[in-house]
Amino acid sequence: MTNPLLQDWTGPFGLAPFDVISDDDFEPALDIALDAHAREMAAIAENPEPASFVNVIEALEASGRDLSKVLSVFFTVAGADSNPARQALQRKFSPRIAAHYAEITANKSLFARVDAVWEARATLDLTAEQERVLMLTRRGFVRAGAALTGQDESRMKEIKGRLAELGTAFTQNLLADERNWYMALGQDDLEGLPEFLLDAAQEAGREKGLDQPVITLSRSLVVPFLQNATRRDLREKAYAAWAARGANGGDTDNRAIAAEILALRQERAALLGYPDFAHYKLETEMAGTPEAVRDLLTEVWAAARARAEEDGKALEKRLANDGIAGPLEPWDWRFYADKRLKQEHAIDDAELKPYLQLDRMIEAAFACANRLFGLEFAPVDVPLYHPDCRAWEVTRDGAPVALFIGDYFARGSKRSGAWCSAMQAQARFPQEQHPIVINVCNFAKGAPALLSWDDARTLFHEFGHALHQMLSDVTYESISGTSVARDFVELPSQLYEHWLEVPEVLSTYATHAETGEPMPEELLNKVLAASQFDMGFQTVEYVASAMVDLAFHTGPAPADPMQRQAEVLASLGMPRAIGMRHATPHFAHVFAGDGYSAGYYSYMWSEVMDADAFAAFEEAGGAFDVERARALEDHILSRGGSEEADVLYTRFRGRMPGVAALLRGRGLAA
């Protein structure tokens, strides 16, 4: 076998040999890997020996190694460094992969053997972790439709295959809209734009083959443009394009795709006996029910909307002072909020950004992990999938822990947003394997690369996910790292954001790009004092998206998602000058796959815990309290999905939190 995707990988931690893998390798490798996995499944299902934990559950855990290798490489490059060939392969692969796994969960003989182990569990002398893996395996089969028969079984396979096709199409349409739109800036268009933004826009122009600055739909470019551009007409043009992603008509329009996805999810839930998709999806989450989610979001919404309306009135006065009759529009909010920030807190992004160098913020994230968990990071020179990527070997007390890869810069071949994924998850079965973890971001390129405060928070956020993967210490891969309830998975990432705001971290690592001087104490104090600034806006745009997501999946699927979106926003009393953080046609969290469908609320559910969890450090010896750090690792970061999330959190904190800590943290408490 000469296909590099299927050979033994001998690089550090078994890293894929990216320097010898070509796009032509993916399809033949997938063919072979799918066939091999199907044979493994047949062998487990047809094993004449009595069903046991070893010959069923552990056999399932040990299967599909080649398939995991192929898919981990392919989906890494398809998301972070796409091209026409990879997009075509993704459209071809998605329904095939969905059909493959649908065949597995529909295998009656295989499910019967899983069920036999489940029925005999009391006599098997299993460890707590093995009992958990058994329960999750059986539950996964049942929720995938393993108990269905006849026409229902056939229809479930069709639904899964079609959903895979639609999710891929949604993602690629969004990428196309983000890649194809840009606004070239002439000399008369630059008023108000700070130097860091001009540098980043010039770099974006070079990527487009132009010798002039351009604004793209990358958040790291369009947001600072909306904050700083004095040309209101250009702000409106940029905002309109940003808001219209996925809704521009033609081949890349996502509105019909969203409607079909929602209808299929509803049908899928009905086949499994659930009243709607939200009840199906939330059954396995901490929240449990749509009602619990709605209660949380409603409680936060009331406080957030009141603050946003108060802030909106103040911004509209500034609009009037500029001789504009109003009303305040969505392309005005960030511009006037930024003016207000500069006036009330004397903070200017152009003044702050030179202190937030990407390399120094990476150092800061590493240094906090070292003080909290004893991790050490050393750069390594290994072949990666793009020249912008960097890698570090992670060790503790000289012993290997993980390989960490950072891919930080925006480019046309990368989908928007930021994410963390594991090309290889931690496990001790069937053999010891250390995690290979990737953080992917979309920061503006520069020399040096400078971050906004929001960018720096994103870096810490994604690194919190990476720590969840790196510090995992379980036996079975299926419960490793971030394999936890969706509304628990954001706890480690959102909690880690708090260390960015620790004064000693900023005073050490927030150093000026030109002078090397640390951030002045006065500026540092202003940054921290302004941490709750414009929180009404930020909370409203997020909760509105979460409410729309919940409404889409509760009750009958809407025939027209855009109409349903409008109805939900109207019922909430959505302020006219604030848009949803993710409107339906570009709501990739919800429509690119099932990950956050009926689950976008998860960030806020986790925030209830992260505010309370960081308070545990503050109540003890401070942000770097050794005992609290050890408890965080022992009870949460190392345990993956080995126990229920509320059990893990209660073991760390002694109790479950209420919403009060979140409201205080956002400055929204009465």
Cis check for the bond before 330: say yes or no (omega within 30 of 0): no
User: What is the rounded CA–CA span in Å between residue 535 and residue 521?
Assistant: 24
Number of CB atoms found within 10 A of residue 647's CB? 12
Short-list 637, 613, 605, CA closest to 463: 637
Contact, 245 vs 417, CB < 8 A? Answer: no
Buried b (16+ CB within 10 A) or exposed e, 295-304: ebbeebbebb
Polymer length of the chain: 670
Short-list 316, 347, 659, 302, CA closest to 531: 347
* Gap between the terminal Cα atoms of the chain: 66
Sign of torsion over alpha carbons 420, 424, 427, 432: negative
User: What is the rounded CA–CA span in Å between residue 212 and residue 205?
Assistant: 6
Residue tagged active-site, from 203, 393, 462, 497: 462
Bridge partner list, 376: 395
Q: Which two tokens stand for residue 394?
A: 């992670």
- Is there a catalytic annotation at residue 462? yes
Q: Which two tokens stand for residue 117?
A: 């182990």
**Centroid of chain to Cα 356:** 22
Longest dimension (CA), the chain: 83
390-396 and 376-379 beta bridge pairing? antiparallel
Helix (H) or strand (E) holding 642: none
User: What is the rounded CA–CA span in Å between residue 455 and residue 461?
Assistant: 10
Number of CB atoms found within 10 A of residue 249's CB? 8
Short-list 56, 41, 46, 48, CA closest to 126: 56
User: What is the rounded CA–CA span in Å between residue 492 and residue 468?
Assistant: 7
Radius of gyration of the chain (CA): 25
User: What residue type is assigned to position 322 of the chain?
Assistant: D
How many Cα atoms sit within 13 Å of 579 on the Cβ side?
17
User: What is the rounded CA–CA span in Å between residue 565 and residue 287?
Assistant: 23
How many Cα atoms sit within 13 Å of 323 on the Cβ side?
1
Contact, 276 vs 266, CB < 8 A? Answer: yes
Short-list 370, 390, 488, 380, CA closest to 439: 390
Q: Which residues are catalytic?
A: 462
